[in-house]
A and B are shown apart, each in its own frame.
Chain A
Amino acid sequence: MKLLKMRCVVPLFGLLLFSSTNISAEGVDIFGYAQITLTGNKDLADESVSPTTTFSVQEFDLFFQKTLSPKITMLADIQFNGNYSTSKSWGSMALDELWIKFSPYRQLNIKVGKLLPTFNSFNEIKTKFPLFPYIVRPIVYETSFQESLALNRWAPEHAMMQIFGTQPINNAKLDYAIFGGNSEFLETEVKGSGTLTLPGDDTTNFKLVGGRVGMRASGIKFGVSGTYDYARNDVINKSVADQNARIPSINEHLPSFVPKLEIMPKLGDIPRARLGFDLSYTGHGLTIEGEYILVKQMPSDKEKANLDIIVKGTTIPAGQMKPYAVQTVGTDLTKSFWYVNVMYDFLDKFYASAGFSNQADASDLLVSKDGVTGLLFCFGYRLTDNVTIKSEFTNIRNDIMSDEAAIELNQIIGQVAVSVFF
Chain B
Amino acid sequence: MNLKNMLLAVIATLLLAAPSYSQIAVIANKNVDLVLNTNTQASDIFTLEVQMSKNNVLIVVFNLKSGEVQDKFYAALNKTSTELKKIWMKAQLSGQGKAPESLDSESAMIAKVASTPGAVGYVSESNVTADVKVLFVIK
Contact = CB atoms under 8 A, between A and B. Distances in A.
Asked if A and B are interacting partners, one says: yes
Contacts of B86: 131
Interface residues of B, number: 22
A106 B86 CA distance: 21
Interface string A58-72: 000001010100110
A313 B93 CA distance: 48
A97 B51 CA distance: 22
Interface in B71-99: 80-83, 85-86, 89-90, 92-95, 98
B52 A103 contact: yes
Contacts of A31: 92
B83 A282 contact: yes
Given A70-B57, A168-B44, A131 B90 contact: yes
Contacts of A103: 51-52
B90 A128 contact: yes
Q: Is the interface of A mostly helix, strand, loop or mixed?
A: strand
Contacts of B44: 168
Nearest to B85: A385
A284 B79 CA distance: 8
Q: In which size bucket is the chain A interface?
A: 20 to 34
B32 to A, nearest CB: 12
Contact of A101 (B58, B92, B95): B95
Interface in B43-59: 44, 49-52, 56-58
B40 interface: yes
A401 interface: no
Nearest to A24: B58
A385 B98 CA distance: 15
Interface string A136-179: 00000000000000000000000000000010100101000000
Contacts of A97: 95
B40 A171 contact: yes
Given A67-B58, A70-B57, A171-B40, A130 B89 contact: yes
Nearest to A128: B93
Contacts of B80: 284-285, 345, 348
A63 B95 CA distance: 9
Contacts of A345: 80, 82
B93 A71 contact: no
B111 to A, nearest CB: 20
B93 A33 contact: yes
Contacts of A379: none
Nearest to A111: B95
Contact of A166 (B49, B56, B90): B49
A70 B93 contact: no
Interface of A: 29, 31, 33, 63, 65, 67, 70-71, 73, 75, 97, 99, 101, 103, 106, 124-125, 128, 130-131, 166, 168, 171, 173, 282, 284-285, 345, 348, 385, 421
28 contacts: A31-B92, A33-B93, A65-B95, A70-B56, A70-B57, A73-B95, A75-B95, A97-B95, A99-B95, A106-B49, A125-B90, A125-B93, A125-B94, A128-B90, A130-B89, A131-B89, A131-B90, A131-B93, A166-B49, A168-B44, A171-B40, A282-B83, A285-B80, A285-B82, A345-B80, A348-B81, A421-B89, A421-B93
10 residue pairs, one from A and one from B, having the closest CB atoms: A75-B95, A70-B58, A128-B93, A345-B82, A171-B40, A131-B90, A70-B56, A65-B95, A348-B82, A130-B89
Interface of B: 40, 44, 49-52, 56-58, 80-83, 85-86, 89-90, 92-95, 98
Given A63-B95, A71-B56, 6 more contacts: A29-B98, A106-B49, A125-B90, A128-B93, A282-B83, A345-B80
